[in-house]
Structure formats: C-alpha cells, structure tokens
Structure 1
C-alpha cells in the first residue's frame, strides 16, 4: 500500500446499513492503515469508568468527559491514549520532539502512558483514554468499504476530544460538503419514521 492510499488519520463513519452492534453509529479514527491491516479507536463510546479510577496520574490531563472510552472490541484490557498538541498546524509540519507523544496525523498523536504525565502536561491538549481498539486484518477493511459499511472522511483535531461524543456521528456527517450531510438526519430507528 502506498503512502497516498493509506487511510491513517482519516475517520470511518458507520453507515446506517452497518449492523454490527460494536460499530452502530461509530466514528473510528484510523491510527494505522497499511498492507498488514488497520488499527483505530472508536471516538464516540464513553464508558462510566472515570480516568481517575484506572489511570489516576493522567486524570488531570483528561478532557471532558473525563472517562475511559471503549476504543473497540479488541483487547479491552489494554489502554491507549490520544491527545492533540495545541497550536500544531493541521498539516503537522511542527516539531516531532515531544517526548512521550507520537504523531498519528496532523496535530493528533498517541501518548505513551508509561511516560510521566508531568513530562507532557505543558505540551498536550486534553487527553482521551481508550480501553481496547478496533482492528482489521489485511484487506478486511477494504472489503467492508466495498460493501458500503463505512464512509471515509477527513478527521479534525477536535474530533478526538469532542465534549459531546454521543453526538459525534451526526456532527461529523453534518459538516461534510456532500450528500453525506443528509445522512446526519437518518433516524435512530427507521421503523418509527
């Protein structure tokens, strides 16, 4: 897969036709997409678990809501974190030298939860912690795209730290400059229409 065809940093937005309950109305940020497969996190599945209950040293940096998000159905016993570098240009041309943060796309990056939080506190915008992730084997996501399970759209830095994650699916669709904006009005239960 060429760099140009990689979907890393883009969003997968579940189509209304996607019936897998793990991904119903999901918005997935793709963290890695290459010939070996795809890895991402669901941005709009907050849990009831406070970050302070599981990663207390990081709780002060957690954005609102300060809860752990279910990043996907794979490895729910593992955690990863994302944060945006404030002031970082959207194209990501800024410095790479932030210890404990690795750029995914633009101003969005993975945070090393083994690093001391105080090392990153001055650099990071709000932190979002995810339990688990979404993963696809080589070619699996491409097959799902052909089947019409996902819309692929550009991400924005604010998607990672949306203060209203339950409305993220509609918000991402609504901002599209195409017929996708109309999908945002799709009812939760079409049979009630």
Structure 2
C-alpha cells in the first residue's frame, strides 16, 4: 500500500458524502505530519478565470473546486517549471503555485495555454495527522500521480476511471449510485 506524500493522488471512498469530496480525486501538493494540502482535480465549476479577475482581459481558463478551505483564494498547478518564479515541484513535470503576476503577464502575451496550467478556487487541507488517520480508516485510496492525469484528464469521470484500475475490491464502487439508499 502506498503512503500519502506530495505528488500522490487521494481517491475518495464513496461513503465520503461531503459534496466537495464525494467521488473526488485530490492531488497532494504538500504533505507532512503537521499538515497536508491538496487540490480536487475532478470538480469543475462553470466559472472561468476572466470572470473572477474581471479587470484583467484573459482567455477563459476554467476554474475547478480545489477544496473547502479558503474558497475565495486561487491556486494553480502547471507544467512551466522555473518559468514561473517561486513554484514548487510536485512530481515530474508538474508544479504548484508560484508568482501570480508572472502568470498573468505570460497569459496576457498568450504564452500560457490551458494545457500548461489549471486554476482552482480554494484548496483541501488537513491538520496534524488528520489525513493519515482518514487513510487508516479507509477514507482514501492512494494512487501515484503523473502530469498527464493532473493536467489533461480533467473531466468528472476521473474518479470512476481510476477506481476501475484498482483491484477487484474496489470494482463495485465504479458503478455505485450517488445515493445507494435510493435503490
């Protein structure tokens, strides 16, 4: 079994009924015994970045729900590495955060595309050992992340598609209805 660490994915157990985490896939961008931070990859909004930053003319980059913490904050992952100062490497070819003014400048020059960067409103956060405890209680399945899953595979079926790659123990989850009590 894999352990939680930066650059891994958390796949929620379907009994997690919180709407932010129901059938969610979270990229861990930071993990320590003190805290863990991640971004939900598969919950798009109908909002685009140009609607949030209405005083800056931008292409309509989609915004995803990153998590329930600080919902009014913007976070981003990207493939641009050191082109964006103060970025943090998450895994091979994938980075988190960095200087937002540089991002806006590159966007205004059309030097960043939707394939290079993804934006999130809010983030997912856990306190001291909280995530490790949730994992011990089978609230999350841990999976390796890679740049392609995190950047190119952004549709809502990501959770189902990843569950189908796991062992047979989880196969029944893939077709589980939103509320199994209604069956």
Using structure 1 for the length normalisation, give the TM-score: 0.77
Instruction: State the SS of the aligned residue for 2:5.
Output: coil
> For structure 1, which runs of at least 5 residues remain unmatched after alignment?
86-95
Q: Which residue in the other structure is 1:147 paired with? A: 137
Query: Does the Cα contact within 8 Å between 2:48 and 2:62 map onto a contact in 1?
Result: yes
Cα-to-partner distance string for 1:72-106 (whole Å, 9 max, x where unaligned): 00001110111235xxxxxxxxxx64333432111
Cα-to-partner distance string for 1:35-93 (whole Å, 9 max, x where unaligned): 22100011111111112212476844x7xxx32111000001110111235xxxxxxxx
Shift of 1:21: 2.7
Query: Does the Cα contact within 8 Å between 2:67 and 2:124 map onto a contact in 1?
Result: yes
Shift of 1:18: 1.5
Match for 2:96 among 78, 93, 110? 110
Q: Provide the rounded CA distance (Å) in 2 between the counterparts of 1:21 and 1:134.
A: 13
Query: Does the Cα contact within 8 Å between 1:79 and 1:132 map onto a contact in 2?
Result: yes
Instruction: State the SS of the aligned residue for 2:132.
Output: helix
Please say if 1:31 is aligned against 2:18.
no
Q: Provide the rounded CA distance (Å) in 2 between the counterparts of 1:149 and 1:129.
A: 26
Please say if 1:135 is aligned against 2:125.
yes
Shift of 1:17: 2.0
Please say if 1:98 is aligned against 2:83.
yes
Match for 2:71 among 76, 97, 103? 76
Query: Does the Cα contact within 8 Å between 2:70 and 2:123 map onto a contact in 1?
Result: yes
Cα-to-partner distance string for 1:116-172 (whole Å, 9 max, x where unaligned): 225892698332100100000111001111111111111132222345521111012
Mean alpha-carbon deviation: is it higher for 129-138 or for 110-119? Answer: 110-119
Question: Number of paired residues?
Answer: 176
Query: Does the Cα contact within 8 Å between 1:58 and 1:117 map onto a contact in 2?
Result: no
Q: Which residue in the other structure is 2:10 paired with? A: 12
Q: Provide the rounded CA distance (Å) in 2 between the counterparts of 1:124 and 1:44.
A: 15
Please say if 1:191 is aligned against 2:181.
yes
Using structure 2 for the length normalisation, give the TM-score: 0.81
Q: Provide the rounded CA distance (Å) in 1 between the counterparts of 2:110 and 2:168.
A: 39
Shift of 1:5: 5.6
Instruction: State the SS of the aligned residue for 1:30.
Output: strand
> For structure 2, which runs of at least 5 residues remain unmatched after alignment?
none
Write out the 4+ residue segments of structure 1 that deviate beyond 6 Å after TM superposition: none
